[in-house]
Structure 1
Amino acid sequence: MRDHPVPRVIAHRGASGHRPEHTASAYRLALELGADAVEPDVVATRDGVLVVRHENEISGTTDVAGRPEFADRRRTKVIDGVRLSGWFTEDFSWEELATLRCRERLPGVRPGNAAHDRCEGVLRLRDVLAIVDAGPGEAGVVVEVKHAAYFLGLGLDLGELLLAELAACGWAERPDRLVIESFELGVLDRLRRSGVRATLVFLAERTGAPADEPLPGAPARSFGWYRGDAGLALLADRVDGISVAKGDLLRLDAEGRVLGPTDLVERAHGRGLLVYTWTLRPENRFLAPGFRSSERKGEWGDWAGEFGTIVGAGVDGIFVDHPELGVAARSARGVSNTPEE
């Protein structure tokens, strides 16, 4: 890959600290604030259109619950082992979803974002790619494939849909700007076998196991197992990197004070894996206890201290809601221009 500052600053669902997530204004602002890449999550509609939503259940991020014409679409489903009630993308056509308006997912923490509720509509993946194409420089895109095994059970192969969309939008031949990630190794395996030209990254939650475990011919493995030495060795033969919760990179004492980084980055790098981490946010609600400034969840704490500790651990990419803070944290620690292998 070509040279770039390390770690990459990846705008988590756009500049979601400033605008409702996954909106056009959030993505445009992320590029203006210096993000090296943006991260759209993709799920599918009933008619196979890839739309950009954090989850396929959309009542928390759109106005669907207040739309009487869709009242009868409310369902209760089990998604990746979790029972959820609400409105789901796979029960709508793209034409129907296009009528919905976005709203802030965390209004209690980010009331300023809620002022932009209902100002913008839902995006398709191709809309985000077009925004990046029209933006400054040559920013990258980190596509997160959500609930791949679940959608496959509905007859919607998100991997195949993604390959077709990338080809149609001119992104199939941009391997230096494209990352594809998922909490499920199966879809990443299928994409790798298809010959996709992208950096493939396995996402690992702090607890639990991937929704597609056990994979054929293998025992069931937890996310924790994948962060261990045996798991990292397996991943090194299958993907290019691992993306972990920031808590897996921080050593804490009994009172929640950060003592320094764990050895996860060192162990992953020793096996040739990139390491990304999520999600760096400045509000007290999201900071490790030792970096909080008060009990007020929406107030900003010592974000620079926490961000700096994580950047200092040597990660290759950081997911941030406020891209300018990620750029500042990287600059404070110094910038490396070492290319990825």
Structure 2
Amino acid sequence: MLPTPAPRPLVIGHRGAPGYRPEHTAAAYRLAFALGADAVEPDLVATRDGVLVLRHENEISGTTDVASRPEFASRRTTREIDGAPLTGWFTEDFTWAELATLRARERLGAIRQESTSFDGRYPIIRFRDLLELIDEAAHEQRRTIRLVAEFKHATHFEALGLPLDELFAAELDAGGWERGDARLIMESFEPTLLDRLGARGIRGARVLLIEDSGSPRDLVVADGRAASSYDSFVTEAGLLGLAGRFDGVSVGKARLVGRARAKPTAGAGRDTAARAAGTTPLVGAELVDAAHAAGLAVYTWTLRPENRFLAPSFRRGTARSAYGDWLGEFLLVIGTGVDGIFVDHPDLGVEARRIAAE
């Protein structure tokens, strides 16, 4: 079945449907398909024996029951991840056979009671398992289902002899996706990894993830303090510089709805000059328009209905886990013209898109 044209904005089940089931489980992905997600987004990390597994991070104490498993107590360690020390259990210290014995837990347990009620019921899964789930759902529902693959800590894994681009290419081939196609979108916070995916001839859109602050880890390792900042990529000049190299950018929601504009100061003249030169970070619809003018798609993460995650003006009441005016915020984001939205509740994203189109 040839891929059908992508709806706009694309509703992407962020790690499946973690608002309802523990993230990155087969149950979360199957539910995302059933709720109408156009695509799903797995986070990819590697095992010691080179298997790509789906976890939010390579440190897994918050998303599995590993901390309660005495046979793995000795694996707890501290190591440096992206320049900062982190203590816990790491996927690269386990074989896939070992990880397959663990059970998943909802990462946002204090907020997501419905999802948390399924803790311990599902195993974690591999990337190749998700490829099978997508193919099965597409066949059953007779529609195109897309894949937005996010690569986590590529520089870290490269240093361990676990190059994510190489492992990914092998998994695609083994899963019958050959070297990718129009169903595939690849995302990373590290531009070097995206370049390597392109050099391997993997077909699909390549999208640079943009943090709210800081610089890409691969550039910090290579260039130190001279590393380009994430802010520099979402200026007019920065977006034009990405054109032809990548196919899009994926920005945190705060760059579209959550940032107040700075009040004029004594340096306002310099700010105006910077804007004229195209070196000021863009926000909201202005960012989206500039990216589109450069030929880049724009995605945003993550739209969630709970007060804890909404911009202040959309919160209702004081309970962090209660739903606020999620529809208002979703519609505001969609109104900027974005090409895709990452959501934890795919049905809410589909409904917001329907209302926006009325």
TM-score by length of 2: 0.89
SS of the residue 1:276 aligns to: strand
Cα 1:262–1:313 shift into 2, 3 Å: closer
Listed as ranges, the matches of 1:24-173 within 5 Å are 24-135=26-137, 136=141, 137-173=143-179
Alignment counterpart, residue 288 of structure 1, candidates 311, 323, 337: 311
Greater Cα radius of gyration, structure 1 or 2:
2
Alignment counterpart, residue 222 of structure 1, candidates 206, 226, 229: 229
Give per-residue Cα distances to partners, 1:228-281, cap 9 Å, x unaligned.
122212211311000000110126558xxxxx9341101111100000000000
How far apart in 2 are the matches of 1:252 and 1:44? Answer: 35
How far apart in 1 are the matches of 2:207 and 2:192? Answer: 12
Larger helix share, 1 or 2: 2
Q: Does 1:181 align with 2:183?
A: no
How far apart in 2 are the matches of 1:251 and 1:36? Answer: 26
Cα 1:96–1:215 shift into 2, 3 Å: closer
Question: Which moves more between the two structures, 75-84 or 95-104?
Answer: 75-84
Q: Does 1:333 align with 2:327?
A: no
Please report the RMSD computed on the Cα atoms of aligned residues, expressed in angstroms.
1.8
Cα 1:281–1:112 shift into 2, 3 Å: same
How far apart in 1 are the matches of 2:221 and 2:87? Answer: 28
Listed as ranges, the matches of 1:189-338 within 5 Å are 189-214=195-220, 219-250=226-257, 252-253=259-260, 261-334=284-357
Cα 1:73–1:217 shift into 2, 3 Å: closer
How far apart in 2 are the matches of 1:176 and 1:82? Answer: 36
Cα pair 2:19 2:114 within 8 Å, conserved: no
Cα pair 1:42 1:51 within 8 Å, conserved: yes
Unaligned runs of 5+ in 1: 255-259, 336-341
Cα pair 1:251 1:262 within 8 Å, conserved: no
How far apart in 1 are the matches of 2:165 and 2:259? Answer: 38
The aligned amino acid for 2:147 is V
CA drift of 1:61 comes to: 0.2
CA drift of 1:172 comes to: 2.9
Cα 1:275–1:111 shift into 2, 3 Å: same
The aligned amino acid for 1:223 is Y
Unaligned runs of 5+ in 2: 262-282
The aligned amino acid for 2:334 is V
How far apart in 2 are the matches of 1:42 and 1:251? Answer: 28
**Percent identity, aligned pairs only?**
55
Please name the residue that 2:266 is paired with: none
After the TM superposition, list the runs of 4 or more consecutive aligned residues in structure 1 that deviate by more than 3 angstroms.
214-219, 251-254
Cα pair 1:172 1:197 within 8 Å, conserved: no
SS of the residue 1:26 aligns to: helix
